[in-house]
Amino acid sequence: MKIFMSSTSWITWVCFFWTALFGLGCVAIPLWAVSCGLFQEDFSSTIHRIFDPGVLALVVATFKQACISAWVSSFFGLFLGLWVGEYCFYFPRSRMQGFLAVPQGIPSVVAATAWVVWLGRSGVLATFGIHLDWSYTLKAVVLAHAFLNIPLIALSVAQSRRSLAISQLEVAQTLGASAWDQVRWLIWPQVRWAWAAASCQAFAFCVMSFGLVLILGGGPPVQTLETAIYQRLRYGTADLSGATIFALWECVLAGIPWGMVLFFQAKKKGTLRQPVSLYSLKESRGKVWVKKYKAYGLALWCSVLLFILPYFVVINRHSVQWLMDGEFRVLVGKPVMLSCILAGLSGWGAVATAIAALVLIQSKIIRTARLKSWLGILLSLPHGISILVLSLGVWLAYGRWIDPFEGSVAAIVALQCTLFFPWAFRMLWPILQTSQRQQVESAYLLGASPLQAFFWVEWPRWRAPLISTFAGVAGASLGELGAVSFFYSENLIPLPLLVSRGMQQYRFEEAQGVAGLLLLLSFFLIVISVETGQKISPGLKSGLRR
């Protein structure tokens, strides 16, 4: 790609304006509108409102929920990650890591519905005599967050563990290092920053978790800043000023761990190494060794599937019966269509914006390496901002033109693009880095035009990542609830909102039926994303969920 962008062509300028428009319109202006909304009154009263005991109590509750969820997730995620990492180290063709990425694409409304089905008073566990009655409690929220975040952390740790060269472990053995010594001196230093970064990421996700807390928290029993922002705007009279106070705290709580993630990721860069070729390793160790790992692998597969299968509880006898009902088609037909259109538009929007940003970074407009690096950080910023805060910003900034109560497809798509763009950017970035300059030049020498050279040399490299990224973004946006909750109308109700409404109005069978459908659609797209993603970089699939 670099060679095609060697001159400052009109394509570069289009990319520049597109990226700038996106950054300003979807991030900078909404955030500016939120900060302006904060100081509508005089300074002292604003400070007084920020530190109001009621607000602080909610901040503490959010912090507590996120801390417990992240702590549980990071504890179990570390061990699962080390375990999976070791297995995939010896069996590099295993799809286990790919499956760890799947829970990232499970829609939060589906996860919440599934946990209600498991934990409810007459839920699945109760039918087996286990009366936990955890639904609509903090425990349920923590459990649900842990089930979503453990695979995220484990994936990060496993990738880091896998990147340790086997010769280092072997030389340590010849120097007398026991299994514990190897963990202490080689494996732990290798994985610790990845683990810390993933744990901070999990904390931020828990702070910004909306759909799950809204449904599983049951309203007043478990409230966080996210649900408070939503309630200030969508229930009763819209209290924009009150919502901005919560948005400020939300930015603080989510921003600090994101800052730490950037710090830890910078540390992590120094620990990543390419693994040596492991292809012959399995063969060289003989059948005894492989047999030993077969049992190990089976146990591991069970552990990994434990974080995927529970969600399929929403596809049960009641929900299938409801799905078979004629009423279903009337209720769900339009939302399915709408959800697919939104997912498609968001997918293409995020991918196109990511490509534009990548072209811009590689172009001559951005001259210094430092500037490129800063731009990269700036472009990943939306990932650290809550979708509800951005939605509030869009409401405040563009309320004159976009009436949230009338519904807006454009606002939903723009917000979802903003939300998933950083992930698309990270997925496509490594492809751009591995330039094939010599091959392209060879194609030129053989008489190919730039377009032909791109088609024959570069396009085969980009095809799988683009499909993977598009499918990933589309799958995630299919189940995204935050943006649609702000800009829906009675004529504009996508599937996640239908599930959320069903759960809140105690229409469980209907909610489970729609959740089942949503799960199947999202799962299909995420599996496509993970499978095509295996061909490129098996690592870059974390951080998709919201």
- How much of the chain is in helix, strand and coil states, percent to nearest 5? 75, 0, 25
Q: What sections of 120-236 are H helices per DSSP?
A: 124-127, 138-162, 166-174, 179-182, 188-208, 211-216, 225-234
**Which of 8, 17, 189, 373 touches another protein by CB under 8 A?**
189
Q: Is 288 among the residues that bind another protein (CB under 8 A)?
A: yes
Which amino acid, residue 18? W
Q: How far is the CB of 96 from another protein (least distance, A)?
A: 25
Tell me whether residue 294 or residue 437 sits nearer to another protein (CB atom).
294
Q: Do the beta carbons of residue 537 and residue 99 sit within 8 Å?
A: no
Between CA 302 and CA 299 the distance in angstroms is 5
Report the Cα 16 to chain-centroid distance in Å.
26
Tell me whether residue 178 or residue 452 sits nearer to another protein (CB atom).
178
Burial of 354 (0-12, 13-18, 19+ CB in 10 A): buried
Only segment of 115-123, 267-275, 328-336, 443-451 that touches another protein (CB under 8 A): 267-275
Q: Do the beta carbons of residue 484 and residue 497 sit within 8 Å?
A: yes
Collapsed DSSP state (helix, strand, coil) of residue 535:
coil
Q: How far is the CB of 393 from another protein (least distance, A)?
A: 42
Beta carbons within 8 Å of 245's beta carbon, 6+ residues apart: 38, 49, 50, 52, 55
Q: How far is the CB of 286 from another protein (least distance, A)?
A: 4
User: What 8-state DSSP symbol labels residue 270?
Assistant: T
Q: Is 190 among the residues that bind another protein (CB under 8 A)?
A: yes
Q: How far is the CB of 273 from another protein (least distance, A)?
A: 6
**Which of 285, 294, 364, 437 touches another protein by CB under 8 A?**
285
Q: What is the CB neighbour count within 10 angstroms for residue 524?
A: 14
* The two structure tokens encoding residue 85: 């990492």
Between CA 16 and CA 113 the distance in angstroms is 42
Question: CB-side exposure of 319: number of CA atoms within 13 Å?
Answer: 21
Which parts of 229-248 interact with another protein (CB under 8 A)? none
Which parts of 129-188 interact with another protein (CB under 8 A)? 165, 167-168, 170-178, 181, 185-186
**Which of 289, 374, 405, 455 touches another protein by CB under 8 A?**
289
Tell me whether residue 36 or residue 171 sits nearer to another protein (CB atom).
171
Q: How far is the CB of 284 from another protein (least distance, A)?
A: 6
Concatenated DSSP letters of 105-122: GS-HHHHHHHHHHHHSTT
Between CA 40 and CA 61 the distance in angstroms is 27
**Which of 241, 271, 436, 534 touches another protein by CB under 8 A?**
271
Only segment of 33-41, 51-59, 279-287, 537-545 that touches another protein (CB under 8 A): 279-287
Tell me whether residue 238 or residue 281 sits nearer to another protein (CB atom).
281
Q: How far is the CB of 92 from another protein (least distance, A)?
A: 18
**Which of 48, 273, 294, 329 touches another protein by CB under 8 A?**
273
Determine phi and psi for 180, rounding to 5 degrees: -65, -40
Tell me whether residue 44 or residue 284 sits nearer to another protein (CB atom).
284
Angle subtended at Cα 266 by Cα 265 and Cα 272, rounded to the nearest 5 degrees: 75
Only segment of 287-295, 357-365, 377-385, 475-483 that touches another protein (CB under 8 A): 287-295
**Which of 276, 305, 337, 446 touches another protein by CB under 8 A?**
276
Only segment of 50-58, 115-123, 284-292, 301-309 that touches another protein (CB under 8 A): 284-292
Only segment of 121-129, 256-264, 269-277, 349-357 that touches another protein (CB under 8 A): 269-277
Q: Is 286 among the residues that bind another protein (CB under 8 A)?
A: yes
Q: How far is the CB of 264 from another protein (least distance, A)?
A: 15
Size of the site for another protein (CB under 8 A): 28
Q: How far is the CB of 178 from another protein (least distance, A)?
A: 6
**Which of 7, 237, 277, 284 touches another protein by CB under 8 A?**
284
Question: CB-side exposure of 491: number of CA atoms within 13 Å?
Answer: 6
Tell me whether residue 263 or residue 348 sits nearer to another protein (CB atom).
263
Which parts of 318-337 interact with another protein (CB under 8 A)? none
Burial of 260 (0-12, 13-18, 19+ CB in 10 A): middle
Tell me whether residue 277 or residue 368 sits nearer to another protein (CB atom).
277
Only segment of 75-83, 265-273, 299-307, 494-502 that touches another protein (CB under 8 A): 265-273
Between CA 219 and CA 230 the distance in angstroms is 11
Q: How far is the CB of 199 from another protein (least distance, A)?
A: 20
Tell me whether residue 235 or residue 289 sits nearer to another protein (CB atom).
289
Q: Is the dihedral of CA 17, 18, 19, 20 positive or negative?
A: positive
Between CA 128 and CA 211 the distance in angstroms is 28
Q: How far is the CB of 373 from another protein (least distance, A)?
A: 20
Binding site for another protein (CB under 8 A): 165, 167-168, 170-178, 181, 185-186, 189-190, 270-271, 273, 276, 283-289
